[in-house]
Amino acid sequence: MSTLTSINARTGEPQGKPLNASTMEEIDAAVQAAAAASDTWATSDGTQRATLLRALADALEADREMLVARADLETALGPVRLNGELDRTAFQLRRFATIAESGVPFERLDDPAVAGGPPVGHPAMVRQRVPLGPVAMFAASNFPFAFSVLGGDTASALAAGCPVVVKAHPGHPGLSQRVFGLIQQVLKAQGLPAGLIGMVQGASVDVGVELIRHPLIAAGAFTGSTRGGAALQAVANARPRPIPFYGELGSINPVVALPSALAARGAELAITLAGSIALGCGQFCTNPGLIVLIDGPESDEFVAQLAKALTTQKPHPMLTAGMRTAFDAGVRQQQELGAQTLVQASGEGLAPGPKLLQVNAQRFLERSGLHDEVFGPSSLIVRAASVAEVLAVLNAVGGSLTVTLWGADEDTPDNRALVRGATAIAGRVLFAGVPTGVAVTAAQQHGGPWPASTAPMTTSVGDAALERFLRPVCLQDAPAWLLARQGVPC
């Protein structure tokens, strides 16, 4: 039987007994149990869904001390960051509880009958939504609470009326087991089916493939690498009945810093950006991996300021040894493709030092390998000769979760062009601040064109994440008893 091991992220040493990976039979059993709970949960009202979500948030907070200690052991993210992330996770659960309770999943569009023949006349129609069914949720490594077992995907799917089968991340198996134990206690206390929230685990890709391939799974939700997400999307599309696959993938999140912004407060922006590059050891999907500057004295001074600020950053160890290997290989590839190294700190022990490299726009455009995400505390500066070259660089990126535009404060033809270029490739465009930090709000859009995500019309963060797991249905000339349910499926 295949096993996986909990690893101390600071020492690289295994800890505790190895855990058994889920067998094909166990994966099937988890999905079957979710399917058995599907009708019950789909027909639940907003109050029942909210009660479960709030109880799950309470359970996390009640076990905070043990959860944070375990998460820190397996991720090295530190108690301050992890406590904040647990707070965010509880907030997400309660926010989706409020959304369900307020009736959002059951909203309807009533289109009364119009007498006469077509095209003006038509029967009475009501457009409402129904839950998709069991969702395969793939936990992320870099957010062991907020994008993991009880993360935003699980919360939004439950609020939509869908059971969830979580594929736990092998980077924090002990934490995942403890959270799943809390879930089972809450489900039992509320008299809900144990299969409403299931969990499978394993370091092998076979576990995830078997889960997304299962004929009773109705949708997939994934946060992780472009390579992993693309492979699972291919499996989802190759099924006899393809299913939607909502993957939030890799992103290099360009920051365009215009000369006007750098002249006004370049030193301040350099310190802010250095902190964003190294935040969480650069292991954020919104890490600013690309900095686009227009040649000139302001940019020259800013590069020097940024390099100095970055050398003071002290990243902690990366989440896993595999991620550290991939980070080193990514930086090495940029160097081999002609990028000049400006900062290459050695780091301490298992912690990598921050990296800063630079290349001109022409070389960036010519060498597609420079467009790849380097997941870790590193950023690549691209020096452009003009706004036209900046736009060409953005176009070459192809798709990103974010683009940041510093200095586009006036209504000018160039700034309009930059805004068009940014919105063409990103789900979120910032005009101040840095891209790290994704607020859970009504207007959030966490997604973007490929390779940032597989479904750029959807978001994995914010209120609209619920929409991924609901399918519209038109009821024509529906009987009174069905309309009286006010959008709650029967």
Residue count of the chain = 490
- CA dist 137 and 219 (Å) reads 9
CB distance 201 to 19 below 8 Å: yes
CA gap 182, 191 in Å, rounded: 14
Catalytic residue among 74, 85, 210, 248: 248
Cα dist from 184 to 42, 163, 245, 247, 295, whole Å: 19, 14, 26, 27, 58
CA distance 224 to 171: 12
| Contacts of residue 99, Cβ cutoff 8 Å, sequence gap at least 6 | 105, 159, 463, 466
Q: Phi and psi at residue 294, in whole multiples of 5°?
A: -100, 130
Cα 38 to Cα 133, 161, 192, distances in angstroms: 6, 8, 11
- CA-based end-to-end distance of the chain: 42
Name the token pair of 151: 């993360």
Report the DSSP pairing between strands 355-360 and 378-384: parallel
Catalytic annotation on 301? no
What is d(CA 452, CA 284) in angstroms, rounded to the nearest whole number?
A: 13
Full DSSP string of 334-378: HHHTTPEEEEE---BTTBPPPEEEEEEHHHHHH-GGGGS---SSE
SS3 of 199-259: EECCCCHHHHHHHHHCCCCCEEEEECCHHHHHHHHHHHHHCCCCCCEEEECCCCCEEEECH
Q: How far apart are CA 451 and CA 397, in angstroms?
A: 9
Do 367 and 394 form a contact (C-beta atoms < 8 A)?
no
Beta-bridge mates of residue 20: 3
Name the DSSP class of 22.
P
Tokens representing 7? Answer: 């690893």
- Strand, coil or helix: what is 459? coil
Exposed / middle / buried, residue 100 (Cβ in 10 Å: 0-12, 13-18, 19+): buried
**Active-site residue, selected from the candidate residues 285, 298, 373, 389:** 285
Closest Cα partner for 350 from 318, 312, 310? 318
- Catalytic residue status for 162: no
Active centre residues (catalytic):
248, 285
